[in-house]
Amino acid sequence: MQSLRNIAIIAHVDHGKTTLLDNLLKQSGTFKAHQEIAERVMDSNDLERERGITILAKCTSLVWKDVRINIVDTPGHADFGGEVERTLSMVDGVVLLVDAAEGTMPQTKFVLSKALRLGLHPIVVINKVDRLDARIKEVEEEILELFMALEATEAQCNFPVMYASGKSGWASSTLEGARTDLTPLFELMLAQVPVPKITLEADFSMLITAREYDPYVGRILTGRIFTGVLKTQQAVKVLNQKNEWVENARITKIMAFRGMERLPIETAYAGDIVVIAGLQQANVTDTVCAPAVQQALPASPIDPPTLSINFSVNDSPLAGSEGSKVTFSLLRDRLMRELESNVSIQVTESPTKDSFEVAGRGELQLGILIETMRREGFELSISRPRVLIKTETDGSKLEPLEEIQIELDDAFSGAVIESMSLRKAEMRDLRPMGAGRTRIIFIGPSRGLIGYYGTFLTETRGTGIMHRIFHSYGSYRGSIGGRRNGVLVAMGSGEAVAYALFNLADRGKLFIAAGTKVYGGMIVGEHNRNNDLEVNVLKGKQLTNMRAATADAAIRLSPPVVMKLEEAIAYIQDDERVEVTPQSIRLRKAILDPSKRKRMEKTRH
């Protein structure tokens, strides 16, 4: 058996985990000298590459000085926090990466707290020390403060520090040291991370930490073998966290991580992280074990969802014109398939059998699902996000609260503090960052932040940075004012005319350009007053001898406001929907018929 180490890389979003791992793989000889590899090779998902974030925890394996090192690249965003916690249960050590300029951030605190709670001893790597705005000494002090605030033990606080540039591919134990390669980091990992405790003589047991679905093999499960040996065709059983029997099965396939590939092997030993197939009912947090085992391995529970969105089939007049998947049965099959691989969401069919409530950890996670389905050819109608409120036995209500960390220019802090207080957020900390910047920390209800990000960018002239993370469930904070402006709603169907749009320019901001296909009930802009206004965007200029059609060429329209998917979902009100197709994102009223809409408003009031 080869000597082994299991390590996770944890950090805040965009602090350089995946880029550092690229260079670890290259310098260990995992890739051949002539082999071409993509930048951020671990972010294999298209959306991960476009957004520059890691969504799914992934495992890779490299060999350094005859020691096999399994390295897990974890998500830094709190919406994928369930992935982080379960991943950390597979490893014996962590590398905590912190940006030399940004310092400790909300997700740094989030991932570190989970690592410390599991008793892991982090190696701290201060990354991007070659940045011009690096503030290395202050960041070191912030890291120590964070360890102490999270009640780390004395041994955990005595962490080794490396200085590195993941992009340039070097690490050093001192700032003045040689900046050649990552050898110092490799050596520190072998010295600092303990060898897995292996008991080969005991009965086989393995904890499942991730689940996927393969159309050829079926359910695929990733986890760490804690005791014993596993062979293909071995008979096993599955126990859940209550020690209840789930199923009996035979392992049809075992795969181990070798570089970027998963290669089939015949035998796997305790301490290794492997992928298995052959089970039909086993789930994340379950234990796969020998028939004689009676006790399940302890596991972190799956984080409960805090936000839900209604998915329904697109029923607008333009339905079916851009997408290939437009039926309810296709939508149901796709969401059931998502449940197979994504354990952190919940899907509930509505009593009327016309929509699904999909609950998850946050706007980003659900936005990623919608964007993925859109690219697969689905047409969807999406509702406004709804925060999931808990009702206690005594009737009191609890709602999810978030920790919001904001960095902005000093001049804009007053406007942001006022906005956050209107959203029932409490300020917990305010400190100058230098160079005319301030960092403010709030605790506020999740529902108050839905749709705020666009306003925040306006208030800070695009210079503010906001990070959010789930904090806890707290007492219900009362009603929060929503969007103050009404919308401009199209009256009829056709193509928008430049002349009509020009005449509407003083009524508010437009969301469409000339030539855009519209229909009755579609939202074409934001009214500059607080009421909705029905408008005719199809009305052309009346042509007479005095008015020539060529005069339209002189019309100059301001560019329309184009919303991204998450912005559109956050913008709408309860009586509105986002129509999502492979080619377009449109806003519309839930009820398209104006007379029915007015009757509904009367009954509501």
CA distance 99 to 495: 49
Cβ neighbour number for residue 589 with a 10 Å cutoff: 23
Compute and round to an integer the Cα radius of gyration of the chain.
Answer: 27
Most distant CA pair in the chain, distance: 98
Cα(521)–Cα(488) distance, rounded to whole angstroms?
9
Please state, in angstroms and as integers, the Cα–Cα distance from residue 42 to each residue in 27, 495, 582, following that order. 15, 44, 26
d(CA 468, CA 361): 12
* Run of H or E residues at 598: helix 594-604
| SS3 state of residue 459 | helix
- Per the structure block, which two tokens stand in for 137? 């000494």
Q: Where are the alpha helices (DSSP H) in 74-118?
A: 81-88, 106-117
Residue ranges of the annotated binding site for GTP are 14-19, 127-130
Distance (Å, rounded) from C-alpha 502 to C-alpha 277?
61
Beta-bridge partner residues of 339: none
Q: Is 391 helix (H, G, I), strand (E, B) or coil?
A: strand
Per the CB < 8 A criterion, the answer to whether 204 and 215 are in contact is: no
- CA gap 345, 401 in Å, rounded: 19
Helices (H), 35-80: 46-51
How do beta strands 253-258 and 273-277 pair?
antiparallel
CA distances from 382 to 27, 346, 484, 485, 592 (A): 46, 16, 21, 21, 15
Indicate the Cα dihedral angle 271, 272, 275, 279, nearest 10°: -30
Q: Where would I find the beta strands (DSSP E) of 12-141? A: 58-64, 67-73, 93-99, 123-127
Q: Residues annotated in the binding site, as ranges? A: 14-19, 127-130
For 368-423, strand residue ranges (E) read: 380-382, 386-387, 390-391, 397-409
Neighbours of 397 (CB within 10 A): 12
CA dihedral of 562, 563, 565, 569, whole degrees rounded to 10: -140
Q: What's the CA gap between 253 and 265, in Å, rounded?
A: 8
CA 322 to chain centroid, in Å, comes to: 27
Phi-psi bin for 335: left (phi > 0), alpha (psi -120 to 50), beta? alpha
Continuous H helices in 179-327:
183-192
How many CA atoms, within 13 angstroms, populate the side-chain half-sphere of residue 191? Answer: 9
For the chain, give percent helix, strand, coil, nearest 5: 25, 35, 40
Q: What angle do CA 507, 593, 481 make, to 5 degrees?
A: 55
Residue pair 520/498 in contact by the 8 Å Cβ criterion: no
